[in-house]
Amino acid sequence: MATTADIKNGIVMIIDGQLWQVVEFQHVKPGKGGAFVRTKLKNVVQGKTVDRTFNAGAKIETATVDRRDFQYLYQDGEDFVFMDVKDYDQLTVPAATVGDAANYMLEQQQVQIAMYEGNPLYVEMPPSVVLEITYTEPGLQGDRSNAGTKPATLETGAEIQVPLFVNQGTRVKVDTRTGDYLGRVND
Q: Indicate if 128-184 has the same CATH topology as 66-124.
A: yes
What CA–CA distance (Å, rounded) separates 168 from 40? 40
Question: Do residues 182 and 172 lie in contact, with contact meaning Cβ atoms separated by under 8 Å?
Answer: yes
Is pLDDT above 60 for 181? yes
For domain 2-63, give the CATH number.
2.30.30.30
Closest CA to 36 of 4, 60, 6, 11: 4
> In this structure, is the dihedral angle defined by the CA atoms of residues 80, 70, 50 and 3, taken in order, positive or negative?
positive
Quote the CATH superfamily of domain 128-184: Nucleic acid-binding proteins (2.40.50.140)
Which pLDDT score is estimated for 146? 59
What residues does each domain of the chain span? 2-63, 66-124, 128-184
- Specify the CATH class of 66-124 in words: mainly beta
The pLDDT of residue 98: 87
User: What stretch of H or E contains 155?
Assistant: none
**pLDDT tens-digit series, residues 34-88:** 899 999 998 887 778 999 999 988 999 998 888 899 999 999 888 999 999 999 9
pLDDT exceeds cutoff 70 at 167: yes
